[in-house]
Amino acid sequence: MRSVVPLLLATALTLAGIAAAAAAPVTVHDALGREVTMPVPPQRIVTIFASNTELAAALGLVDRIVGIEAFTRFPPEVLGKPLVGGRLGFSVDAVVGRRPDLVVVTPARQAAHQLVDPMERLGIPILVLLHRTMPEIFSNIRLLAKACGVVERGEEVVSRLQARLDRVKERVEGRKAPSVIMVTGRLGNGMMLIARPGTYTGDAILRAGGRFALESGMLAQVSPEAILRADPDVLLFAGSERDMNELIARPGWADMRAVRERRSFVVARTEFLIPGPRTLDGIEKLAALLHPAVSQ
Amino acid sequence: MTAWLRMVVVLLLAMMVGISAGHGWASPADVLRAVAGDPSLGSRLLVEWRIPRVLAAALVGALLGLGGTVFQGVFRNPLAEPYLLGSAGGAALGATVALLVPLAVPQPLLLPVLAFAGAWGATLLVIGISRVSGAVDAAGMLLAGVAVAAILGALRSFLMLALSDETISLQIVLSWVLGGVQTPSWPMLGLLAAITAACVGLTLLIAGRLDILGLGETMATSFGLNVHRFIMVAVLAGSVVVAAAIAFGGLVAFVGLAAPHIARWLVGPLHKPLLPASALVGAIVVTLGDAISRSALPPAEIPLGLVTAVAGGPFFIVLLARRLRK
């Protein structure tokens, strides 16, 4: 009977150690170089933007999400969660009203601008993430996993995604990269927005085995004429089939090589314009479109 | 005297409404508890976030009222507004640079500084142009102001188009241009209060001469006023006031135009009472406008400039109509 006491003591100490480790504050560095400390693993998370919500969802944290913004549509389980902002900006009141212990934002629209300062003043941890390349998305998944105390799940998710990315790389490696233009938006003045280098959308195109037909310079937008003159091997349109058909029905577009050779395709906006795990779906599909021979 | 008391009471009421208003409405009891040091998140939100913002809104409104009064006095034109001489265009250009161009300086600091520099710089440019062209009078300045505003507006539009894509949205600039008081840190709020007090003093210094100028240039000259020189001094003073308002509140439509008129109906046309009265009226209007902007469409915020124009415009028209009918 006497020998049980030290054993119990040891067990108790071990348990206490585990509990202490689980409750230890976690500090991470975000995209702005800020040091963000979570005293305990967050249980009430406000994820601003579809991208950050999807990252949290990929980590199995949907249940912890207590607030989203109005344009988040995925995954379906988050629909109906309270909204803390939309096109007209983000409400500090609404975010605080959700009593979050972590807020995740991206410096798009006015989010970081409107929220970082107040959350810092109120002592609510706020993590700013930037998603500019696939590796950056992966490291953000790890970062969020660490912040939320689910490090292992983060590693799992990333290694699965990384394996898929590697498979695409093997498939397209050594093959001649077709020149690509992806139209991501059209402006009122007739100009087009196209995917550019230095963005995750551009990174996705490169990883799917494409190359840029047009390195648009300082301006994010290009004239349709420049697209016609660049005459890419493949024309991609992020949007609906109908809008694409309307676009290529315009004067001159039918003569484009990509259109004549039936290499103009519609791609999903959700896969190329929301950085996250779904971008990999997009990369895989795009690789199949760009390199049809290897993808039976 | 009653007019002053009324204005002060209305301002205090407006500020109380402002502190209560938001996505979640706070009762006066909540506010009292928060001020007494309650540590809950909701209370800290009130103290750390909403109260400084309401105070900042009132101060920005006061500055706009002062600026508007000076400009209407200088140009002897009831339609003169504080953004007349290029300050809006210059401030918007400065803000666009601060918001869209990645620079090493942190944005919360850069934005007000560049907005101020742009606003004041543009007015200096206008004064410089009218001096060089030998037209240091109201008409010359107005024309130079139109030209400078057009150039700066085009530059800003170009920057906005050049530097935006799906992720860096035009909204961020647009929402700034449409006005909105940001909650300042306590030291910044102190600075804003000091600036506002200094601006009241500064404009009161030229109040007497604004009255003389109001008699007409010939008359003013015969009173011994160096009209051209004074116009320049007054415009410089007015534009500092306006630039300070812009730096803290963005471009808030209509307040600088309307506040002096409302104040004039309350205290008469002499500038010595008119300037502080306009400041009070401006403070009331912006405080209420900010409360509406925060609470009308939760969880979003309507840009303040839209609120002041849409809610204030009809109000102003009604007042004007009643005034004219008398």
| pLDDT per position as a tens digit, A59-102 | 999 999 999 998 899 899 999 999 998 777 788 888 998 999 99
Chain A residues in contact with B22 by the CB 8 A cut-off are 91, 93
Domain boundaries, chain B: 2-325
Q: pLDDT by residue (tens digit) across B15-66?
A: 999 999 887 788 889 899 998 988 888 888 888 889 999 999 999 999 999 9
Among candidates B48, B168, B299 on the partner chain, residue whose Cβ is nearest the Cβ of A84: B299
| pLDDT value of residue A296 | 46
List, in sequence order, the alpha helices (H) in A173-240: 200-207, 224-230
Chain A interface, best mutation among B23, B167, B186, by max A CB count within 10 A: B167
A177 CB-near residues (< 8 Å, 6+ apart): A209, A210, A211, A290
| pLDDT value of residue B166 | 57
Chain A residues in contact with B167 by the CB 8 A cut-off are 106, 108, 199
B131: pLDDT confidence band, cut at 50, 70 and 90? confident
What domains, with CATH codes, occur in chain A? 23-151 (3.40.50.1980), 174-294 (3.40.50.1980)
The CATH number of domain B2-325 is 1.10.3470.10: yes
| pLDDT value of residue A75 | 92
Residue of B nearest to A121 (CA): B48
Per-residue pLDDT, averaged over A275-279, amounts to 94
Q: Inter-chain contact A96–B302, Cβ cutoff 8 Å?
A: no
Q: pLDDT by residue (tens digit) across A122-139?
A: 999 999 999 989 999 999
Chain B nearest CA to A159, separation (Å): 27
Chain A nearest CA to B183, separation (Å): 8
| pLDDT value of residue B63 | 96
pLDDT at A281 over 80: yes
Interface residues of chain B, partner chain A, Cβ below 8 Å? 22-24, 41-42, 44-45, 48-50, 99, 107-108, 161-169, 171-172, 175, 183, 185, 294, 297-303
Chain A residues in contact with B45 by the CB 8 A cut-off are 92-93, 96, 122
Per-residue pLDDT, averaged over A31-41, amounts to 92
Between A and B, how many CB-CB pairs are < 8 A?
94
Chain B nearest CA to A119, separation (Å): 9
Among candidates B23, B162, B302 on the partner chain, residue whose Cβ is nearest the Cβ of A93: B23
| pLDDT value of residue A10 | 58
CA B155 – CA B128 distance, rounded (Å) = 20
Mean of pLDDT over chain A: 88
Q: What are phi and psi of A180, to 5 degrees?
A: -130, 140
CA B80 – CA B198 distance, rounded (Å) = 23
Selection from B189, B290, B204 nearest residue B241 by Cα: B204
Q: Could you report how far apart the first and last alpha carbons of chain B are, in Å?
A: 23
pLDDT at B8 over 60: yes
Per-residue pLDDT, averaged over A150-163, amounts to 96
| pLDDT value of residue A199 | 87
- State the number of CA atoms in the 13 A half-sphere of B185 facing the CB: 10
Number of H helices, E strands in chain A: 12, 14
Q: What is the DSSP string of B56-99?
A: HHHHHHHHHHHHHHHHHHHHT-TT--TTTTTHHHHHHHHHHHHH
Q: Inter-chain contact B165–A196, Cβ cutoff 8 Å?
A: yes
Residue of B nearest to A116 (CA): B108
Residue of B nearest to A89 (CA): B300
Q: Inter-chain contact B107–A113, Cβ cutoff 8 Å?
A: yes
Per-residue pLDDT, averaged over A275-284, amounts to 95
| pLDDT value of residue B168 | 58
Q: pLDDT by residue (tens digit) across A197-238?
A: 888 999 999 999 999 998 766 666 788 888 888 899 999 999
| pLDDT value of residue A163 | 97
Q: Which of A63-67, A114-118, A271-275 has the lowest mean pLDDT?
A: A114-118
% residues pLDDT > 90 (chain A): 63
